[in-house]
Amino acid sequence: MGDARSGILPSQWIRQAIDDGVIESATPIADDQIQPNSLDLRIGERGHRVRCSFLPGREGVAKKLDRYRWYDLNLSKHDDDGSFLERNQVYLFPLDESLKLPKGISGRANPKSSTGRLDVFTRLVVEDGTAFDEVPDGYHGKLYLEVVPRSFAIRVRPGDSFAQIRFQRGNAQLADAEVAELLKTEPMVLSRGREAIPVDTLTISSGVWLSVQLTKSAEAEDDIIGFQARKNTQPIDLRDRGLDPNEYWDVIRSGTGPVILEPDEFYIFASQELVRLPPEYCAEMVPFDAGSGELRTHYAGFFDSGFGFNRDGQSEGAAVVLEIRNRDVPFLVDNSNVLFRLLVLRNTEPPEILYGADRPSNYQGQKLKLAKQFGAPRG
């Protein structure tokens, strides 16, 4: 299975890195920011509305901001009222957290689950960076987050978290042959009946390919199989809970046949398969694959160890919620269409905490589910 020292670094490494000053912050890092394989990142008291997205390159963030900043946001002045971020506008926020990574350690960021389900597009930026979401080996410096709300305007405050970062040593991704061998003994991909799907019936090619569920499943309480975001709604406060989803989403029901995805519209669906990640592994989804259609299938594509996992040894499993934005032309999606692939990542060692068990989550054991800001849909 490769070098045991290579892989995604666990929660205990993150905790020690904070104590050692490898991870620093302008404000104390809270315990609940530490996930099994990742750290939640927080926006600071200032932000910038910029003309366009950019990578700093050799010019650096400060010089790029001098050229492309329109105005500043001072979130601290608004107290509990927060500031509003408009749809389809680009904002750049310095984050509270900064890094002094040792040689041999790199990082990668992903949006958090709720961020993706609200159709908020985020990308991590580092000083002199030439790639989004990538933190170079041994990086010392500040972190910034590009934030672009797409479907809904949002209200933000200092300390709100849109993204998470994971750290790794060496190559963490399992090769296809390793994945196939692992799935023979570890039930990581399950049917809706929570039975392990035989390896020889799965497509494993640069990851495990999974499909979309567009029919009512046996355990479903209603016939809702998806949602389409409405436009020109009231803003969403990230701290809201129990919002009426009917004011923000149109419901898609089973029995209507294939679904035609319209260009530049945002949809929420669920995978047909269930995923179960034991402590030794975590996973990442590939958000865009042109071979499956001109659509983005996921924003928040990282799954911590313990996702869909039951400590009692039962193969619980959880659906992958797909955050789909179609691109140029109407695209037909039918039930069981293979749309996305999952990359299995090894950990350097099992984390001390597991997703949904030691670290509570709104999405553990999920089926089709909107962001935590919403209550249950009616009817």
Mark whether 101 and 202 lie in a shared domain: no
* Position 133 in a domain: yes
Q: Tens of pLDDT along 150-196?
A: 999 999 999 999 999 999 999 999 999 999 999 999 999 999 888 99
Do 197 and 302 have their domain in common?
yes
Q: Is residue 378 part of a domain?
A: no
From 146, 169, 192, the end of a domain falls on 169
Element (H, E) at 348: none
In a domain, 351, yes or no: no
Q: Span 223-248, mean pLDDT?
A: 94
* Rounded-to-integer distance, Cα 128 and Cα 62, Å: 10
Kindly state whether residues 194 and 60 are assigned to the same domain: no
Verdict on whether the full-model pTM lies above 0.75: yes
Distances (CA, A) of 302 to 46, 163, 165, 222, 271: 27, 10, 10, 28, 15
What is the three-class DSSP state of 359?
strand
Tell me, yes or no, whether 76 and 224 share the same domain. no
Type and span of the H or E element at 99: strand 90-100
> Would you state the pLDDT for residue 310?
77
Q: Cα 98 vs. chain centroid, distance in angstroms? A: 20
Looking at the fold, whether 79 and 222 belong to one and the same domain comes out as no
The residue from 112, 145, 169 where one domain ends is 169
The answer to whether residue 367 is domain-embedded is no
Residue 180 domain boundaries: 176-346
Buried-exposed string 181-215: b where 16+ CB fall within 10 A, e elsewhere: ebbeebbbbbebebebbeeeebebeebbbbbbbbe
Q: Are residues 110 and 259 in the same domain?
A: no
- 239 plus 335 within the same structural domain: yes
Do 47 and 154 have their domain in common? yes
3-class DSSP state for residue 65? helix
- Same domain? 146 vs 17: yes
Question: Do 160 and 112 meet the contact criterion of CB atoms below 8 Å apart?
Answer: no
The pLDDT, as a whole number, for residue 1 is: 34
Residue 323's nearest CA partner among 288, 289, 298, 300 is 298
In a domain, 110, yes or no: yes
CATH number of domain containing 138: 2.70.40.10
Amino acid at 137: D
Q: What is the pLDDT of residue 361?
A: 66
Residues 6+ positions from 160 with CB-CB distance below 8 Å: 42, 43, 238, 239
Phi–psi pair at 227, nearest 5 degrees: -140, 150
Lowest mean pLDDT among 19-28, 82-91, 332-341: 332-341
- Choosing from 116, 143, 169, the residue where a domain stops is 169
DSSP string for 218-253 = TT-SSSEEEEEE-SS---EETT--SB-GGGTEEEEE
By residue count, the chain amounts to 379
d(Cα 90, Cα 147) in Å, to the nearest integer? Answer: 6
State how far the Cα of 223 lies from the Cα of 214, in Å rounded to an integer.
10
183 and 316 in a single domain? The answer is yes
Contact 98, 141 (CB under 8 A): yes
What does 117-156 look like in DSSP terms, one character per residue? Answer: HTTEEEEEEETT-SSTTEE-TT-EEEEEEEEEE-SS-EEE
- The model's pLDDT over 91-141, given as tens digits with 9 standing for 90+, comes to 999 999 999 999 999 999 999 989 999 999 999 999 999 999 999 999 999
Residue with tokens 């597991």: 354
List the Cα angle 157/70/76 in 5-degree steps.
25
Provide the 3-class DSSP secondary structure of residue 327: coil
Q: Tell me, what's the pLDDT at 276?
A: 93
Dihedral of the alpha carbons of 13, 298, 115, 28, in degrees to the nearest 10: 10
Is the same domain home to 152 and 235?
no
CB 99 within 8 A of CB 125: no
pLDDT number for residue 298: 72
Domain presence at residue 359: no
- Asked if the structure places residue 369 within a domain, the reply is no
Number of domains in the chain: 2
pLDDT score of 284 more than 50: yes
The pLDDT tens digits for 28-82 are: 999 999 999 999 999 999 999 999 999 999 999 999 999 999 999 988 755 567 8
Same domain, 256 and 135: no
CA count, 13 A, side-chain hemisphere, 121: 18
User: 14-23, 50-59, 79-88, 320-329 — which is least confidently predicted?
Assistant: 79-88
> Residue 374: inside a domain, yes or no?
no
